[in-house]
A and B are shown apart, each in its own frame.
Chain A
Amino acid sequence: MPTKKLVTSYEQDLKLFPDMWHKVGLIAALAFLLVFPMVASAKWVTIANLTATSIVGAIGLMILTGFAGQISLGHAAFLAVGAYTVAVLGNEFQVPWWLGMPLAGMAAALVGLAIGPFALRLRGLYLAIVTIGLLFLVAHVLHSFGDITGGVSGIAVPMYTGLGDATFDAPWEFGDYEIPFEKKLYLVYVTIAVGAALVSKNIQRSDLGRAMIAVRDHDLAAAVLGVNPARTKIIAFALSSFFAGVAGAMFAYQQQYITIEPPFDLNMSVQYIAMIVLGGIGTTFGAVAGAIGFTVISPLAESVGRHIPFLSENLTSAQQSTVLFAVVVCLFLIYEPLGLLGFWLRIKRYFSAWPFKY
């Protein structure tokens, strides 16, 4: 029976995996991540990579909106900056991907820092509306530098490894066994997603996260407690756009060819908001669960939608998944406002009280 271990020191309170059950869970999760690419079909490995990308992007939005309370509809703009950073750096300077990714994050963070001071003057919905402006601004800039960004016709995204002209999409071969591009990406992307989740969790449980949540819930009280609201929001902006930039780079490398809009449009921003709402605002768990839920629902909805009589006759498969997704989000908002997080908390509570029901 998973009872709580007695806490005997304050260090123990700071551990992410304090007791046996947490460690068992951790090992099971790692084992799943390792075995998954060996057994899953190519389609699901691709979906897993998209999921990892969404996780990194959703963590970015969670830091800004979920922790610091700044509603942004411009998230896709930061992904665009990241994506086009790696595309241009690859094409112009053959910059390898492992350098391109952090540079993409930094480029997006710089844009985030640049608009931060404007954002400080706005609250709530005003900020949301103004950040839509950022979306158009970035798209406009990308369009007007058509000779290096490819303009409307888009641009190829080479993924150099740094070893001469070699690119990452060539499969690794070990004798008879070969690891194709998507599976190689999987290893990299899962590592990045896990790293991003760790960083986000660290923010959440440290002084920095407390300050962000204080600013979100009551910025005047936060200031009287010694938290500098402006500084805290700027840090949130920078971190959020960094992760968005990295997610944009991940997206670009996986797609290998990108255009401006779609995909980097209001629709993508709204999808990220849907993810963090679905997962549960304000926690790392919410960002990860929401991103997984969102990315996995679409292909599932496509298979389910076919069997729902009215939907399958009148709507395209993309529309079917949109409708089903909207239904799922609405159900969550009504029955579980805490999102998947609330769901999880309930399961956890059930097990920690087991075998007693209450």
Chain B
Amino acid sequence: MLSVQDISLSFSGVKALDGVSIEAESGDLLAVIGPNGAGKTSLFNCISGVYQPQKGDVRLEGDSLLQYSAHDIASKGVARMFQNLALFDQMTVLDNMLLGSHHLYKTPWWKNLMFGKAARREEIEHRERIEDIIDFLHLEQYRKMPVGILPYGILKRVELGRALAMQPKLLLLDEPAAGLNSEETEDMARYILDIKEELGITQILIEHELHMVLDLADHIAVLDFGKRIAFGSPDEIRKDPAVIEAYLGGEEE
């Protein structure tokens, strides 16, 4: 479904990614782990079109994404949660999530000037879909609040909801549990599993919380200094000497 082929990305000398390849099958939950600065976020930036890798290719269902700009990639079904929240503070939870539906709107822009029947009908259709997501993430009570006043744990959920509102085929989650307490982390893990099992959306998860990753993921890729040093099932990763050396520091089992 997604195939990242041998990509390299460098910033004036710093090699953020160095010949990284990963594959995700449809419905997969793939985790990407690695120490700080390993290039995990850079990998997401290359997939979602924020950066162009200097070498290699990124293919979604066989279609090379490098030819598209970020907003086109979004409408092809790639949604993303940012590591440092990128919500719109002055908009309500609802409006943030409706913005996720932006690429699904069929009403031509100028019809919004009158906001007549057709435009309203479409708005309501999307609203109904968003309400299902609000339900799913238990955000009912926050729906009309501006995002800027909500606590961090809720914001992470809102951002997940906004990504889901895009009706993605591929969902990129950049440390969705960072900064959450253990209860919130558990909720987040639950949501991620539900998204996999109920919605069947392919997910790539960057996470520092190792136990969460080992529990949830079908496959794990390990990055270190921009290189992929291991790839396999959680069991294989647990035993991989290179991983134990670089990341687990030998402490695990």
Contact = CB atoms under 8 A, between A and B. Distances in A.
Nearest to A7: B144
Interface string B42-53: 000000111000
Size class of A's contact patch?
20 to 34
A223 B124 contact: no
Main secondary structure of the interface of A (DSSP, over half): helix
A224 B113 CA distance: 25
Nearest to B74: A226
A207 interface: yes
For B103, B113, B124, B127, the residue with the greatest tally of chain A CB atoms inside 10 Å of its CB is: B113
Contact of A207 (B88, B89, B98, B114): B98
A206 interface: yes
B69 A223 contact: yes
A225 B99 CA distance: 7
B124 A10 contact: yes
Given A223-B71, A228-B71, A210 B50 contact: no
Given A202-B112, A206-B112, A282-B90, A226 B166 contact: yes
Interface string A190-204: 000000000100110
B99 A10 contact: no
Contacts of B231: none
A227 B99 contact: yes
Interface residues of B, number: 38
Contacts of B119: 206
Given A226-B102, A226-B166, A199 B113 contact: yes
B74 A223 contact: yes
B112 to A, nearest CB: 4
A92 to B, nearest CB: 30
B99 A214 contact: yes
B75 interface: yes
Contacts of A11: 120, 124
Contact of A10 (B86, B89, B101, B128): B128
A220 B48 CA distance: 11
A210 B147 CA distance: 14
Interface of A: 10-11, 13-14, 199, 202-203, 205-211, 213-214, 217-218, 220-229, 235, 239, 282
29 contacts: A11-B124, A202-B114, A202-B115, A203-B112, A206-B119, A207-B98, A207-B105, A207-B123, A211-B99, A214-B88, A214-B99, A217-B89, A218-B86, A218-B88, A220-B70, A221-B82, A221-B88, A222-B71, A222-B99, A224-B48, A224-B49, A224-B50, A225-B99, A225-B100, A225-B162, A226-B166, A227-B99, A239-B113, A282-B90
